[in-house]
């Protein structure tokens, strides 16, 4: 089997919390708490979980937009966590990010042409202004916009169009891996579908690899080859999209899936309502982080021992004492 494009090993990100007056805080927010997975070239890995589960922090640690506390990230066999500034800047060509908020992620004072062409200038990928303009025009057309749009400003566009500008900006440097961080979450459902279709077309055209982060399992269903479900900084289930949607094994995945509508009205999923809120990542529950909300938790086991992420069937990994 060929080496994966990306390998994440035991990634941890803890944020130190501010202390009180003349007092240093020893408390940590455990955003990512030992996450491991691989992504193959040309694959889309969906990463799903409720707000605060650590999915976006994981994406940003992979790109080193946030420094991980510990763990390794290997991209094409190179340890990203050990790279110096210059190497990291070069690597930014291969790994790009598309942000959630298409309104906040584009500089309102720059023209669309300057925004999309910025990467070409930084990485010296174009020969002069005419070349930059020609390539920006081509990129805008590739994402379904007009070449003329390069002279306009972000506020002149709708949310969906702005997200297309963000995609063109990321594509400008010909990346191999795109981290789509809640890239469609702020868009209306019909626009979400259009942007997801565009991302799929671009993947086929350019052989891109995606990490597609979302808080809703229904959003990643049609784009992901495999899906990782995260809860309080840990992966609780990782499987092919088909296996995860048809035979979920972790109680948390079952609960998330039970909320996803099925298009066929004759079929109904039994709704599993989770009790309580997601506990604080500052003091996560001991043992299995999910035990405070799990409908099948076993006292004396789940609240004491941390379940490992184990492979139950080929390619299907589950972190649960009772479902392995």
Task: Give the binding site for ligand SF4 (CB under 6 A).
Answer: 250-251, 288, 290-291, 294, 296-298, 302, 307, 320-322
CB of 288: closest distance to ligand SF4 in angstroms? 3
The token pair at 33 is 């708490």
CB 256 to ligand SF4: min, Å: 13
Q: Minimal distance in Å, beta carbon 246 to ligand SF4?
A: 19
Q: Which is nearer to ligand SF4, 169 or 321 (CB)?
A: 321
Q: Which residues of 113-151 are buried (b: 16+ CB within 10 A; e: fewer)?
A: bbbbbbbbeeeebbeeeeebeebbbebbebbbbeeebbe
* Token pair recorded at residue 140: 């805008």
Q: How far is the CB of 251 from ligand SF4 (least distance, A)?
A: 5
Of 38, 3, 30, nearest in space to 278 by CA: 30
- Complex with ligand SF4: residue 181 or 243, whichever CB lies closer: 243
Smallest separation (angstroms) from ligand SF4 to the CB of 293: 8
Number of H helices, E strands in the chain: 9, 12
Identify which of residues 59 and 307 has a Cβ nearer to ligand SF4 in the complex: 307
Query: What span, in angstroms and rounded, lies between the C-alpha atoms of 316 and 324?
Result: 10
SS3 219: helix
Residue closer to ligand SF4 by CB (options 179, 320) is 320
State the alpha helices, DSSP H only, in 126-172.
128-142, 159-171
Nearer to ligand SF4 among residue 229 and residue 288 (C-beta): 288
């Amino acid at each position: 089997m060929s080496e994966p494009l990306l390998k994440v090993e035991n990634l941890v990100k803890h944020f130190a919390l501010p202390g009180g007056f003349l007092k240093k805080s020893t408390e940590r927010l455990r955003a990512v708490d030992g996450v491991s997975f691989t992504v193959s070239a040309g694959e889309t890995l969906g990463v799903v979980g409720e707000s605060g589960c650590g999915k976006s922090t994981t994406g940003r640690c992979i790109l080193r937009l946030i420094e991980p506390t510990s763990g390794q990230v290997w991209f094409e066999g190179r340890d990203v966590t050990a790279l110096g500034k210059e190497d990291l800047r070069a690597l930014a060509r291969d790994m790009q990010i598309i942000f959630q908020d298409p309104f906040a992620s584009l500089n309102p004072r720059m023209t669309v042409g300057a925004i999309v062409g910025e990467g070409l200038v930084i990485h010296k990928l174009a020969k002069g202004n005419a070349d930059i303009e020609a390539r920006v025009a081509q990129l805008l057309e590739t994402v379904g916009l007009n070449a003329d749009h390069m002279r306009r400003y972000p506020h002149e566009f709708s949310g969906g169009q702005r997200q297309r500008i963000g995609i063109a900006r990321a594509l400008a440097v010909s990346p191999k891996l795109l981290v789509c961080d809640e890239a469609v979450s702020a868009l209306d459902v019909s626009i979400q579908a259009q942007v997801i279709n565009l991302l799929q077309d671009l993947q086929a055209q350019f052989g891109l690899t995606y990490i597609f982060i979302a808080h809703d399992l229904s959003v990643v269903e049609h784009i992901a080859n495999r899906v990782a479900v995260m809860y309080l900084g840990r992966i609780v289930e990782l499987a092919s999209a088909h296996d995860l949607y048809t035979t979920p094994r972790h109680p948390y995945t079952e609960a998330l899936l039970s909320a996803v509508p099925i298009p066929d009205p004759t079929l109904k999923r039994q709704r599993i309502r989770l009790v309580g809120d997601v506990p604080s990542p500052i003091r996560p529950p001991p043992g299995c982080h999910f035990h405070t909300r799990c409908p099948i938790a076993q006292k004396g086991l789940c609240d004491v021992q941390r379940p490992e992420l184990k492979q139950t069937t080929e390619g299907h990994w589950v972190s649960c004492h009772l479902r392995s």
